[in-house]
Amino acid sequence: MSAHETDPGRRSLLKLLAAASVAAGAALWGFLPARAREAFAERFPTRTVEKNTFRFDPAQGEVLWKDGRREPYALVLDGLVEAPARLSYKDLRALPQVRRTADFHCVEGWSVTDAPWGGVTFPDVFSRVRLLPQARFAVFHSLGVTNPAGGLTHYIEGFPLAELLNPAMGSLLALDLEGAPLSDQRGAPARVISPFDLAYKSIKFVTRVEFTAQEIPGWWTRANPIYPVHAPVQKQRLRTPDPRSS
């Protein structure tokens, strides 16, 4: 049995447990006092350039478009791979789930300390495809529609593969925040968390990962050329040293 295969009965059980976990997390979040939810929202402002064209239903794993269409969410892995793969929301939930507390640093100068994320690691996600030897970068594509910038009409952001696969970087494909599925405002169904990079690298609404040989500038850099492709958080803002500087 290969690393990409599992016993059918076990796989069904994992998917059932994952769905139950999503529903329970959403329910628990709903029972929190309104003031507690508001306090977190005040501590963690929402900033997005995507237009409001869809919602996400975590219980069903479906994208709900404004025109009334519903479609199953899928994370596509393609580019420099032997064969592309599509992971449903249930597939992502069936991967090992991890919890990670990380600071979040906006380019505007504000930070949120100890944000409690949950999700899956990139080694686990990327294990679903076989990368070609020339693959060096991962370019993430968003479901969200944006104003045009540098030939793009949707948000993209890229990272060196070596950084995403390095456990010391603490990167995560986040599915949860504060124990509940990501809200639409926070980037549902999935977003990138890269604790040592400024938040414009933390792309929301991820629906595709394209593996490339060359680095590709993201939407934010194309729209705002003063912001570079590489966006490490300034040393004085970090409570933990950036592993790349050691």
Q: Is the pLDDT of residue 36 over 80?
A: no
Q: What DSSP character marks residue 11?
A: H
Which of the four pLDDT bands, split at 50, 70 and 90, describes residue 26?
Answer: very low
Domain ranges of the chain: 8-245
Please state, as a whole number, how many other Cβ atoms lie within 10 Å of the Cβ of residue 172: 25
pLDDT at 39: 53
Q: Which of 140, 125, 147 is nearest to 203 (CA)?
A: 140
pLDDT at 48: 80
Which of the four pLDDT bands, split at 50, 70 and 90, describes residue 42?
Answer: low
pLDDT at 66: 93
CATH of 8-245 given 3.40.1190.20, 3.40.50.720, 3.90.420.10, 3.40.50.12780:
3.90.420.10
User: How many Å apart are CA 159 and CA 126, to the nearest integer?
Assistant: 13
Side chain identity at residue 244, one-letter code: R
- Host H or E run for residue 86: strand 85-88
Which of the four pLDDT bands, split at 50, 70 and 90, describes residue 138?
Answer: very high
Mean pLDDT of the 167-190 span: 95
∠ CA 171-177-178, nearest 5°, is: 125
User: How many Å apart are CA 165 and CA 162, to the nearest integer?
Assistant: 5
User: How many Å apart are CA 116 and CA 172, to the nearest integer?
Assistant: 12
Q: What is the pTM of this model?
A: 0.83
